[in-house]
Each structure stands twice: as C-alpha cells, then as structure tokens.
Chains A and B, each alone.
Chain A
Amino acid sequence: MKSGQEQFPSAARLKSILPLWPLLPAAFYLITFLFVVLSYLLYLSFSTASGAFPTLATAGNVFAMNEFRQAFVSTLLFVIVGTPLELVAGLALAMLIYKPFFLRSIVRTLFIIPLAVPGLVTATLLFIIFDSNGGFMNHILMGKYWFFPHVIRHAVDWRGAQWSALSVAMIGKIWRDVPISMLILLGGINAIDPELFDAAKTMGAGLRQRFRYVILPLIIPAISSVLLLRSIEMWKEFIFPYILAGRYHLLGTLIEFLYMEWGGKYEHEAAFVALVLVGCIVVSVAVFMFLVDIVRRMVSDVR
C-alpha cells in the first residue's frame, strides 16, 4: 500500500505548479475560443446550405470559381512580392538609423509615423493620390510640378487594371507597415556587440563586407520574425486591396465579397475560402522557415 506522501503531490510539486494557476482562465478561454471558431469553420466548410455534412460540394464550388483562382494567385503574388519588399525596405531604414547621429531620434520617429496612421486613412489617401482623374501621381508624372520631369502624356488609370491596382494596394500596405519590420530588424542589429563591427573593421572589412559577414548572419532571427509575421499579415490583407483594388480580389476580400455581396448565399463558400486562407498561412510559415534555414546556412559559416 502506498504511503500518503506517494498518493498526493508533494508540497514542493504543488509549489512549482502554483504560479501557473492564474494562467488557467486565459488558457481555457483561448483553447475554447480557438476550438469553437475552428470547429465551426470546418463545419461550414464541409457542409452545404441544404444541410449536407460532411461533403466536399462546397470545396468543389469554390475551386470551380474563377474569382477564387484569381484571388488565390493574386494573394500568393502579394505575399511573395510584398513580404520581401517590406523586409528590404525595413532593413534599409534600420541600416540608416542603427548608428547614432545628430537628430537620430527625430528621424526614427518620422520613420514610425506611418504606423500611427489608420489603414483606412492611408488607403483613402492613396485612393486620391492614384486617382485616374486629377490624381497627384498622374500630375507628377505628367510634369505638372517643377521638381519632376514629364514622363507620361496621358493620365494612367492606376486602379483600373488588376496588377496596377494591386501594386498600389501593396505600396500602401508596405508604407503603412514597414516601421514594424524596421523596428524588429533594428532590435536585431542593436543586439549585435559593437566590438564585432570594430573587429571586422580592423581586419579589413568595408561596409558591404561587414553587412554581408557580420550583420546579415547575426540578424537571421530578426529576419525570420519579420518574414513570419509580415507574410501572415500579407496573406490576411484586407483594407488596402478592398479600398484600392475593389474589383480585383485577394483571398481576404473574397471572403467578405462571398459573404456580403451575394446576399449571404455563399456563406459556406466564404467559410471554405477562410479555411484555405488559414491553410495557406500554415504552409507559407513552414516554407518561410525552411527558406530561412537555407539562408542561414548560406550566410553563416559551414563548420
């Protein structure tokens, strides 16, 4: 027969578990909420309006939609082009301000300002700037201002074609969110011991070589974070394409379109597209992590 001490957790064990107890309500809430949402999403995705479940009819409907295929390709390109662009832009800004210089804090604040502007406001501003009729961008390119040469003769309908409309949306997205990438990368660069740069200098490394051999390998964790977080954001993007490229859907806007615009007839299809979006995010995260690992091997040393 076991002794009382063996039957019940020891005082030390209880003491080690005790600090975790306050987390239980939050953990319960998160798990339940995630479970409810995901399970309902799965239910809707694999059922029909007539009540059939489980069925692949909804999936079949979605895959047969021309809008879905276009939205999928557009979103994929949005992620593949937008994420690296935001990374490069963020890295460029971080490299500009990682060293102390006069008025650095002001410059850093200026770089962060876009983050403070709501996406809807930025998108609306870009809507006006890229307007085909009297938009600021057309005026600049048509040489109406002294500071820019005459480049085009006729106004361009920026939002009238799929790729230009989505490009404008991407510009807006990157402009608004690049401070996040910059701050993550800046944190990574600032975490590098400055003596490593000095050591590289005394060994003959110029700016480019210090970037290639010291900074880049040592900020791989920060780059991974940027790629991971920003690619997820790119997949989910809604407001910029919704305002600036309304007719040319990404997966995010297609969900809203299926759910709202067609009178609620396609809520199961909308749910399935949302499920596809979640799947895309999971797969892209795995692919990005794989790529980051390859890059890490390339830029750092093979023993």
Chain B
Amino acid sequence: MKSVDSEKSYSLGKFQERRFLVSRYDIKKLLSVILIIIPYIIFNIFTKGRFMESSNILSILVHAVVPAFVAWGFCFIFTSGIMDLSIGAIMILACIVSGILAIKIGYFGLILGGILVSFALEYINLKCMIKTKIPSWVFGLGMAMIYEGIGALYGASQLKLGKQVVSLGVTARKLGSIPWIIIVLALGLIMAYIIFNRTSIGFDIRAVGSNREVAKMMGVDVTKAIIRGGLVGSVFIGLASAINESYAGRVMPTTGLNSIALIFIPLAVYLLAQAFEQIFNLTVAVIISSVIVESLFNILTILGVPSGTWQQVAVGACVIVCGVLAQRHYKGVVK
C-alpha cells in the first residue's frame, strides 16, 4: 500500500514541477512583450518621436486589419495542411463582387458579396482538392490562374466600356475607416478566438493539423474537419475582401499570377504568429504579428525606404525569418 502512495505522490510532484513551468511561460510571455516593445522605443527615438505619434500608431493599426483577417483565414485553412495559393485571386473576385453589390445595396451588399464569393470558391477548391488528391499548392496555382483569368476578363470588359473596374466613390467607405475598422478588428478577434478555441470546428482542425492519423482514429472526420475549417477561414477571407474594398474603394484585377503577391504579407503574419504560438494563443498572435509586420513597413517608409524595392525585400526577408522562427520548435519532431 505504501509503495502505491509514494508512486502517486511522485507523479503529483512531477505535475507540480510542470505548474512551475507554466509560470515560467508567464515570465516568457512578459519577456517577449518587453522584447517587442524595446525596438519600438528605440525606433521612436531614432525617428525623433514620429513613429510613436498617436496618428501614426492608428495608421499602423488600420493597415494591420486586412492582413490580420486574411491571416485568421489562414489559421483555419493552412493549419490542416492545405496550402491554397489561389486565395489572392479569390480575394480579387470577392472584392469585385463586394464592390458591385455595395453600389447596389450598400453595406449589406459589401459584406455579403465578399463572404459569398470567397465561401463558394473556397468550397469548390477544397472539394476538388480532396477529390482529385492533387497536392494543394499545385491545385492552388491552377485555380489562381483560372480565377485571375475570370477577374481579368471582367476587368477588360469594363475597361472596354470605358469604366473603372469597380469604383465605390463615396458609398460604403465607412467600414474601411476609423473608428469602424477598429471595431471590426475587435469583433474579428473575438470571432476567431472563440471559433478556434471554443468550438468543435476549431478543435477538429487543430487535431488534424497536430496529428492527422491520431485525430482520425479518435473519431474526427478529417475531410469534414478540413472543409468546415476551410469554410470558416473563407468567411474571414471574405470579410478581409469587403474591408479592403471599403478601405481602398476599388480593385485592380491582376494577371500572370501576380495575385499571389497579395497574400505575401498575410503569409508573413501567419508564420510569425506560429512562431509566437508557444507564448500567445494563435488568434491573438495574429494581431500582434500583423501589427509588428505593419510597423516594420511603417518604419521603412518613415526612414524613406522606397516602397517598390527594399520594402519588398523586407517582406521576403520577413517571410523567411518568420518561417525559420515558426519551425524552430518543430525540430524535435522532424527527424
């Protein structure tokens, strides 16, 4: 009997030690917040206070909204291993429809148009990807060409009529401006957090992403999980399109796969968020990362770095560095 007791207390002791580790995580959290803030202060001094001006901070926040929404979309789509490169092209089509409907029926149309298009197209993508078993990135490339083609055809037909592709003018522009855009950001965070952490959709997609085989044997319907997660993600992508349309007021169709460039910044945000995942919840980390990435561009702009060249280099470097950081914890698992 005695030995049983000592065994039990031994295992309890181990857990207590882990609780101690949890508190170490809290210290880690605090440390990383400090580590994030320090460069801000340094840059603020460097730019003679221009960087931390309230108007500048607000502008960073506004810029961070669309990438954050797209990155939330990635949380639900990429986490299960679906690398969909057509999301940029989907966003362009969603922006077009969103703009058209906004002109007709206002804000309701703006949001509905964005969500409907991205929902429908992502559904087609996921269904076909799973059916045909084509690796998601190749399939995404093909679909990106198709969606871009459709967008460009529409654009060309509008130009022939002498019109802009979609121009909102002054209608439905409030969603993309302060204070609404910040409110939407907050709502988005709450939505993403709850779905990712408090619903079976979120748990299923995380289970599939963490260990597909085990999840399957535990009764998770992997196909269903991927599709449900992907559709939730597509809603975020649709919202991002609507916000973007309202913010920019127009959209330019791209050709030659340039639409992929649209998702570079969100990709960097998503990867950076993954690197932070050990410390912050992924959905929260998305906002933090989005602000960090946008701050970086802001700093570069303040420092007079041209937007076409070195800022692009910064995006690329950012994706690579974030990718390396995101995989850092993964090393033990990948043999």
Q: Do they bind each other?
A: no
Binding site for A on B (CB under 8 A): none
